[in-house]
């Protein structure tokens, strides 16, 4: 296949991926955050109340999770890449991930639902 064909194919693929990304990563407002370590749910944090959770890994390492004014953030962590901290405070949508620590924060429930409930 010629270089031009490859370029066209890659551009088309990039356009599809960009569209999918925008749709999948659209902002959302959740009612609660679930904290998962190694696939086990270790905590549920309602986003309506300000809290703090220190997750300590069995083999060493930590992530300090802070819920403040409807947003959840990893305020501090000693993972090598720091991507979880760089994400900043989020209200919902795509999960917050700390891959080196196998830690995932997912979101559920509508912000309006939890206010009504």
Partner 1 sequence: MKPNRLTRLALLTAVALIMFVVEQQLPPLAPIPGIKLGLANAVTLYVLRTGRARDAALVLAARIILGNLVCGTVAAMFYAAGGGLCAFAVMALLRQAVPQTWVLGVLGALGHSLGQMAVAVAITDTPALLVWLPVMLLASMAAGAFTGLCVTALLRRLRQ
Q: Are 72 and 47 in contact (CB under 8 A)?
A: yes
Write out the two tokens for 64.
């300090």
Output 67 or 101, the one with its CB closest to partner 1. Answer: 101
- Output the smallest distance, CB 69 to partner 1, in A: 20
- Output the smallest distance, CB 38 to partner 1, in A: 7
Output 32 or 104, the one with its CB closest to partner 1. Answer: 104
Task: Look up residue 100 and give its DSSP letter.
Answer: G
Phi–psi pair at 58, nearest 5 degrees: -55, -40
- Output the smallest distance, CB 11 to partner 1, in A: 10
**Minimal CA–CA distance to 107: which of 46, 52, 42?**
46
Residues of this chain that interact with partner 1 (CB under 8 A) are 1, 3, 6, 10, 13-14, 17-18, 20-21, 24-25, 36, 38-39, 59, 61, 79-83, 86-88, 94-95, 97-104, 106
Helical segments of the chain, H only? 3-24, 83-86, 111-116
Output 2 or 49, the one with its CB closest to partner 1. Answer: 2
């Amino acid at each position: 296949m010629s270089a031009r064909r490859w370029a066209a194919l890659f551009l088309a693929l990039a356009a599809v991926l960009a569209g999918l990304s925008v749709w999948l990563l659209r902002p959302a407002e959740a009612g609660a955050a679930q904290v998962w370590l190694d696939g086990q749910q270790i905590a549920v944090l309602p986003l309506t109340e300000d809290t703090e959770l220190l997750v300590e890994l069995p083999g060493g390492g930590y992530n300090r999770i802070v819920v403040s004014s409807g947003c959840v953030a990893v305020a501090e962590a000693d993972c090598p890449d720091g991507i979880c901290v760089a994400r900043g405070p989020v209200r919902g949508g795509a999960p917050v991930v700390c891959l080196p620590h196998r830690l995932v924060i997912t979101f559920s429930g509508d912000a309006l639902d939890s206010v009504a409930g």
